[in-house]
Structure 1
């Protein structure tokens, strides 16, 4: 009696690495455009909600505060439950936040939408994990394409937001990134495969709560200090309370089994100078975004200062920043090879 060999059941083949990276590039173009879309519109937010330049800084700061928690938390959850799944969650948060920003009737709801948009910075680490599992040692080129797509998208956002502002209402202009993000989610859900590698371990929910709460308390009091008074009880309580919570967070992170942020890595590996440089650069880049946008758009005849740029001219002026950032990214690897590795600090 003869037996026939088992027949393998055909399964749909996953997309090739090049196609996969192409689909993720769509995500990063939408991500970059969304991130670059806000800066040219800051002066319009000031007019709509009657804000000061200090208030307008919170439009940027609220999203940045969210990223501090979102990046390590969503990356960890992606390792446990699947990177595509968490990328879809992050993109859904960004899409919802973009809709809220477009329809927000008051400044508080606008900031809530911006907090949700902060999940956008978790896109890259989750995408890197997807590409690395598929491409292995050849993932470097795909990762470079994703970073380049982000930079190009941000540059397009700076330019196109200024153009859209010239011809559309503020609400209609703000709907554009929301629609693009929803379309990117469709591409992700139907064309990007899930990763199969999973890691075990818990999620440091306490660390996430302490880090987020401490930063909100401290920076909220710091940002309102000039309005409340630097010796006001609210200012002092918020700043001291925020510092106390952050100290508690450091204590917890050094003792928990699966920390949100591995502080041991920050203490070693010669990362002191790079981290300090990144801190100073970030303070300059993001701290000046609102005043710069307001100054460029303000009409000097009515206020005595500003350049009075509008529409595409405003977007073009801000595009210079995006172009130089793209150039720096492109030259970084070449300069490192030419000048040698930096000293360890």
Structure 2
């Protein structure tokens, strides 16, 4: 065990100041990802600043009819919250698809968003990994690549982001509240995570010492109340997505034309992937299987596959179509 210092923050400002002043310090929430990586030798922080007991444990309605979710809200509690289940079922289903019951009881909202984008090579310190050790190479390229990215990858990293919750939040246009040494700021969830480019060691745009304090969902609508999430995986539980889809669809009852659509994908990229091309094709198109296939094809046209992960393109296409078809049939 590598020695480290543990400190429990009295408030958010103290937590931020402490971590910002120490390049070798990190925040500790539920610890379900960080502690694993410390045990594996992947992470070796010299200081853990515990933020799990800060007053960010509430789910509150906002004045406009949305929800503000504290960063320390446990995944199980958020999935079971009646307003989440009623107004944002895609989020509830995404949360319940993630990990195991024991982990959901411990994992926090903020920590879930900040878990590392990773693959088996990242967690094996005997192999080269640009994410773990910049400049060392990517063992997945030319190696075992069955679970790896088909969208937005680079020559430096082809790992995929593992969060189910983040995909659900992305399809719901969530925003993230952050506190840093320079004060508070808010950013769209879509802008939080990064594609790997030539610096895959950076998973997010957050500066060192910035702390997620809350996630905010916009006011609920008929579309968000009919949203859903589907995860395709190799076993029934405790497995990352091969492909996942979160979607919300607004279809005019008289004309059968799609007025609005939101689609997000998991298991296909280094970050939760907003399917903007698919959404553009869907808006103004008839809510038919043909339209859904055209939309999925437009999104996946840029896919770059490898020997082991080529199956993800037809799997993603068929899952997108199935989810949109289910949402269309559910409104009847």
Same fold (TM over 0.5): no
| Greater relative contact order, per chain length (Cα 8 Å cut-off, separation 6+) | 1
Q: TM-score, normalised by structure 2?
A: 0.24
Query: Bigger radius of gyration, 1 or 2?
Result: 1
Q: TM-score, normalised by structure 1?
A: 0.24
Which structure carries more strand by proportion?
Answer: 2
Which structure carries more helix by proportion?
Answer: 1
